Chains A and B, each alone.
Chain A
């Protein structure tokens, strides 16, 4: 069965860095893009961007340019999110989500069909 398994919770100080992982199984990793979504405590879902798992090219939403890096270990079917120079406002749960699709004969139509369990990152001095 298809699974996205993320790494464990992190407690960091402001200014530190964190790297969280998302290991995929049950499908061909390079056939589907991987997206990242942030959820601050008690808040809604915010799209961060995505990585092309075939080429490794990342694309970042405007609010996540600069300190955020998406990367791959394709041989291990793993996508990573690294956040540098952590700030208090980075305290959140970070989800990876597979960009699934439906092909209607003409177009590929996309949506998030599988999600990781989330990683809680706490930034506190």
Chain B
């Protein structure tokens, strides 16, 4: 299985820029996707294929990367962005990162 590693938590102030990283144990090309999950809710798709913004998602969210290293950027961060963010690869059987919990100061 392809293991995805994320840092567990981040704390930022509203208006700042935040980057959330995801490292894959092997190359997944650009088959990396990002989801947002708020407490008690289902995940929602933010970014697909590394850098494509899902329809309806604010342009404050962006994604980059290829191969093994990927980044989700939120700029500027808003209070509503408090959530856990997961990366997921579809190069082979789907796997998820452990999630990064974003808290606002």
A residues neighboring B (CB under 8 Å): 35, 44-47, 61, 95, 97, 100, 102, 109-118
Contacts and interface: CB of A to CB of B under 8 A. Distances in A.
Contacts of A100: 48
Given A111-B45, A115-B43, A47 B31 contact: no
Contacts of A117: 41-42
B73 interface: no
A44 B90 contact: no
Contacts of B31: 109-110
A109 B91 CA distance: 9
B96 interface: yes
Contacts of B86: 44-45
Interface in B21-72: 31, 33, 35, 37, 41-45, 48-49, 52, 54
Interface in B72-98: 86, 88, 90, 93-98
A115 B35 CA distance: 11
